[in-house]
Chains A and B, each alone.
Chain A
């Protein structure tokens, strides 16, 4: 299955180990819950790099699943597999379990840079790396009985704008947190262009070719957002300035979304309503690209980064943008890579780190995968549902 990275999400990973993997290695993995896997290009060399792998690897994940046993063909053992979520797990898992804030964190007109450290796990599972001092405004809010992931995501939503001024967080492979403006976390000058016909590299741009599927829906379209904030509750609302769609009788479409947020401070009800409206006030546009380009993840493309996408047949053209790529002038749409799925191909390496910081090279036991990589891109101010 490989790796699935999701911007501001848990993501997941899995890899298969050969049936003849030494039992000693299996025993280590069996007892290695919540240990880490580092995936690299080529053999990782953990003996040499040690924990340096955490910050230099292509991907680091947490072991929470293990499949062992079974029989393969000819009486042999079946391959084993291990898997789990990405490093965001340490802020809170999919069920919002984690180092829950049991003591209320009460914020009164506090700036972003001073808020985030207060919400990090008290256990020290994730420490601060880059915390932006450029996020404008202050926040008055209280967080309790929620995971750090939920709390930090809430702060980012309430204090962020749209596009490159949105505020996000990212957990790095070494369990450090970066939080700030999108323009601070990711390069807004794309180095990758996804096009239907041509692939190759220019000095400053790489073109990826593949099949493009553009899925558009309005399943979550909202014209009015209401947030019931606090315990009383306090009603906050936000409306679209203009609604371009009508019902059967010619009346302006009315789709009101009501969201109950007891942990949101009453004073933030309107802002929270605005955040929800911004998420759902336009057709949801998700472009899926499948490409056979090997190792598309790297310095050129990562989840959260910006890409150019041009596919006139799918309507993915923006004539206000212009790039010169491989002998042609293109007018692509600027989108963000929201999710990046890629297989572990022959040539990748992996290493296991146990809770004590001991490393084991798993490269010789990996079962290489095949198939395309998939890049999910969305508009800069939209998020995929469920992430």
Chain B
């Protein structure tokens, strides 16, 4: 109730701003540069490959009320301080709060390996803002290496959690607290170094903000923060009015496969409509939270951020995004659903639902906005942990994030084997081979797995590992049962697959989510990720482009003929045969539906298939 009142109040930064526009531009561009500087500091000083090679970390700069002025994922600073042992008034210069408990920050971080640091920034004894940075630690303890078990039933099995506490007091690191935390992880050296690197990132922002206050004065700096928020809010009002029709309701739903315990498919349902300046986003109709670890504690403000960023990136990429437009979005997240689970539900593998939430958001907008379409993606952020003790008695633990097919986009093909996360990168095979006991036999594009379309969906990838020491693997993926959808006549992409090939040649198909599967030296793992969906009628795709992709090995000649109607003769387009083939496909096919979900059985049968797969795997 109080939140409702809060939401309808005009934010205090709206209005006239006593700051000249050039100074404002300078403050804005400095904060923008600072954000990237924070990332660079963390990337270069951290030691975990997920941070240093894969850039899994997110920076943020906020105003004194805790509103994100510059950053990526939006701010939950007020919630964090509310849940902290300290109060707003207890914050002092040189303090850094740390937490890795998603339930203590309303899901601002979404699983326990993400460590969030928050530094209040003071100038002449006054609070002038916050900087915050979070990153994915290699391990925080719990029942599996990497702390993302598949079979946990509660968050207590997912490792040690820090509630929001002061890790640094008055500039001094609480060494005992850090040591206590690190002691509970499998890789204490990594944890200590990475947490210090995150702190260095937040410090970089403090230095820059001090410089801005030196240069322009504290009051001008703060006025600037308000004006930046207000400017974004104005821009968002324009976008909303231009692109979101008023009155009509649009809904979309899609499924994540399963929770790794045989429960699935898991439905996400989103409805969007606009009244005046306000856009309503309603997750009612989404499935209840599940037993397994795929629950995704979606932070309400973060979801507003995602929605705004989507509109900005689609239609006005130069607009800065920040918390300025929060009051323009109203979100309903029903308690007890997979997007708002109740503590202590486990959260370790929230990635399928996090990724699906992005997919569903872009699909709903595809329905809503005339002439704008994006297809479905590879659908999660697949990851693999390989751990054990090598023959010399040393512990090893590798964590890797993998990528798949980026969906076809307005005006362009999807990207093969790329990341929907911004700025992430693969770990080089040469890094993995140098530091871990394994060989990378193959890292390649999965031909024909991206959905056909006028614009083709990106292909998934195949990565083949040969393990050189006995150990165990834990991984999670999705889109093994459901398909990345195609849109507007484009076809669905292909599903993911995993296979173990034992040294004696026997092959074992594995489900998309497994925990601590023992492997022997010499065993091979084939990790294949899903493609992305296609956009538009594949028969409209430029036939020369199709021929070229056949020559490049990205499309098979069979797919060229059957999906695109392109007939090749020694690698070049046979124009006459192509026209004929395309005509015959047009004559015999049904009218395409708006979305192509692939050859899915009905819900009950799909649920039975998923349960059956898990029963068979568990009995092996």
Q: Do A and B come from one complex?
A: no
